[in-house]
Structure 1
Amino acid sequence: MRWVIVGAGAVGGVVGGRLAVAGHEVVLVARGAHLEAIRRDGLALHSPEGQRTLRLPVVAAVTEHEWRPGDVAVLAVKGMDTPDVLRPLAAVAPAETPVLCLQNGVANERAALRLFPNVYGVHVVLPATHLAPGVVVAHSAPTPGGLDLGRYPGGVDDTAETLAAGLRAAGFSAEALPDIMRWKYAKLLMNLGNALQALCGPDADGVDAIDALLRAEATEVLRAAGIDVASSQEDAQRRTGLLNLQPVEGTPRGGGSSWQSLARGTGTVEADYLNGEIVLLGRLHGVPTPANELARQLVNRAARDHIRPGALTPEAFLALLP
């Protein structure tokens, strides 16, 4: 089995690096300065256990990789980039290629299933950072995170068991689950606060109350849509003892994926597939979602205008809320 990590950023880079250290064959797909740094200097994998540099094959696009039976396409790009990856991937990869959605949100698996019959969702619990080209950081040790997975839309097969075993060999906590989307919707509820964290900063007073408002809207939406979600008690039990966050030399723990997007000035964030998913479902089922829509609009504007994270106060957010 060869793991092709499509998007070697924070999560993809850490997973690809750990798999390579465990002896798996890994190919990275990266872009821009990150691609050039990996080509020139290797992938720097930092963690509380130390730093190591990995010389791994890296390409600029899925079309540059010579796909073969036995390859696994691990999608680790953000949701807004998924369509641009899937179209060329379908043109070059064997039809039976397993597609592993190592991504936030719940829309990626459905998009992949249009083009590939073997799609697997992943419930990602992995605190990781990518701020500098060529460098990815895992903040938990000895277990870097949890990567439960399952076949989409449901079930477990031999491939799911093999993928989970490979991830466990790389040090992750990983189980094959028949109801993976219940867990991904639970993670979606948590990720609704990513936009607020990026806008206001991870430690701003008043963010928790707004985050609760975002989740309350989402809970009503998911109930109206008849979507089954893993409970907060189930999620808390799964996370018990999973993470052990520790300092990493030279890399303080900042914020999550959207915070990092603003910090790196990428120009985009994935809010349309997090808060925007709740907005979409709300429109489909007649449930108002003003807080999630405002968060989606504001963080998209901040990304587009290259505004640094933490520029908005929670009070200013509430003042803009209809």
Structure 2
Amino acid sequence: MRYIIVGTGAVGGAMGGRLAEAGHEVVLVARGAQYEALREDGLRLTTPEGTRTHRLPVVDGPEALDLGQDDVLVLAVKTQDGVAALDAWSARPVAGGGTAGERLPLICAQNGVESERLALRRFHRVYGCCVYLPASFVEPGRVLAAGAPLTGILHIGRYPSGADDTVRAIAADWEKAKLEAPVVPDVMRWKYAKLLSNLANAIEAVTGVLDGPDGFALFDRARAEGRAVLAAAGIEATGSAEQEEARGGRIRFDPVDGARRGGSSWQSLSRGTGTIEADYLNGEIVLLGREHGIPTPVNEVLRRTANAFARERRAAGSMTVAELTALADAAS
């Protein structure tokens, strides 16, 4: 199988680099400065083992690539960029007949729980992937992946549920690339659990830290709202004991080049992208709360504040935890 990484940022870059190191055929997809850096200088992947440069095929869109029946699309763009990517790739013809949407498997390797639904409108074969992979991308062409001895643990399964021979073959490939890939029939349980932990992303992004009693107290309030709306919606998330059994002690986070390992939302603000994924993290809890009559004032403040930071290109970490907590208190 050939892996086409649609979105070569932190997660996509780490996955693409590790798959290439394991001998798999990989094509990177990127835009702008990242595309230029990858094309000119290759992908520089830094792990606790050191830095390797991977000179892999790189394209800036589906028109630059001929697709075959053995291709696998890995969607690793942020969810807010997902519709454009899905529309572009799903209509692309595949050698031997049909389009990518009709013929090829698509793996949603993203935070949040909305991408799979968006993808299923356009692709017949959609797979969810719960990403537990510590990585950073703040400089064009360079990705830092701090996990050791595994780079990531990626629970995968068919969406909305189940497993098949395709996902088992993909998992076998990933297992050879320091990417543990448990195949599960209920992948969305894992993604909803990850959603609850990702409610902290906005706090880290706008305050620069998630540390100390005040930051964790605010996170606990956001997570309590999340658990309440999931319960009201009848949505099950993997429990902490099951997560600990699957992941505990299997990845340690080693510093690489003394660089800071910030979360995905912090990285978006640090790069000044102008967008952030808060609508699909805290905003998912707000949406479910509105649907089921559950107040979610803390998550609404986090969603709105993170979006304002991104839109106005305000510096990551330029608000204090006390200021953010005061906004949440006023809304509550």
Coarse TM-score class (shorter-chain normalised): over 0.9
Pairing 1:165–2:201 present: no
Counterpart CA distance in 1 for 2:283 and 2:269 is 18
Kept in 1, the 8 Å contact 2:207–2:318? The answer is: yes
Structure 2 partner of 1:153? 160
Instruction: Find the residue that maps to 2:148 and give its secondary structure.
Output: coil
Counterpart CA distance in 2 for 1:318 and 1:131 is 27
Structure 2 partner of 1:104? 111
More deviation, 260-269/229-238? 229-238
Q: Give CA deviations for 1:23-55 in whole Å, capped at 9, x if unaligned.
A: 100000001111101110111010110111011
Structure 1 partner of 2:59? 59
Counterpart CA distance in 2 for 1:180 and 1:224 is 20
Q: From 302, 308, 312, give the equivalent of 1:295.
A: 302
Counterpart CA distance in 2 for 1:33 and 1:259 is 19
Pairing 1:232–2:240 present: yes
Kept in 2, the 8 Å contact 1:202–1:254? The answer is: no
Structure 2 partner of 1:194? 201
Alpha-carbon spacing, 1:226–1:203, altered in 2? closer, same or farther (3 Å): closer
Q: Give CA deviations for 1:177-231 in whole Å, capped at 9, x if unaligned.
A: 0010000000000001000000111245411000000000000000000001111
Instruction: Find the residue that maps to 2:206 and give its secondary structure.
Output: helix
Q: From 206, 217, 225, give the equivalent of 2:225.
A: 217
Counterpart CA distance in 2 for 1:156 and 1:77 is 24
- Unaligned 5+ segments in structure 2 are 93-98
Structure 1 partner of 2:126? 119
The CA deviation at 1:63 is 2.8
Pairing 1:10–2:4 present: no
Paired amino acid for 1:133: P
Kept in 1, the 8 Å contact 2:309–2:315? The answer is: yes
Paired amino acid for 1:38: L
Q: Give CA deviations for 1:143-179 in whole Å, capped at 9, x if unaligned.
A: 1110110000000100110111111011111111001
Q: From 181, 189, 210, give the equivalent of 1:174.
A: 181
Counterpart CA distance in 1 for 2:324 and 2:8 is 33
Counterpart CA distance in 2 for 1:224 and 1:188 is 16
Q: From 223, 244, 255, give the equivalent of 1:247.
A: 255
Kept in 1, the 8 Å contact 2:200–2:210? The answer is: no
Counterpart CA distance in 2 for 1:17 and 1:256 is 20
Identity of aligned residues (%): 53
Kept in 1, the 8 Å contact 2:210–2:216? The answer is: no
Paired amino acid for 1:281: L
Instruction: Find the residue that maps to 1:177 and give its secondary structure.
Output: coil
Q: From 245, 269, 277, give the equivalent of 2:276.
A: 269
The CA deviation at 1:75 is 0.1
Kept in 2, the 8 Å contact 1:139–1:253? The answer is: no
The CA deviation at 1:4 is 0.2
Instruction: Find the residue that maps to 2:91 and give its secondary structure.
Output: helix
The CA deviation at 1:62 is 2.3
Structure 1 partner of 2:21? 21
Total equivalences in the alignment: 321
Kept in 2, the 8 Å contact 1:198–1:299? The answer is: yes
Instruction: Find the residue that maps to 1:167 and give its secondary structure.
Output: helix
- TM-score (normalizing by structure 2): 0.95
Counterpart CA distance in 1 for 2:135 and 2:261 is 10
Instruction: Find the residue that maps to 2:150 and give its secondary structure.
Output: coil
Counterpart CA distance in 1 for 2:173 and 2:295 is 43
Provide runs of 4+ in structure 1 moved above 4 Å: none
Structure 2 partner of 1:38? 38
Kept in 2, the 8 Å contact 1:6–1:62? The answer is: no
- Unaligned 5+ segments in structure 1 are none
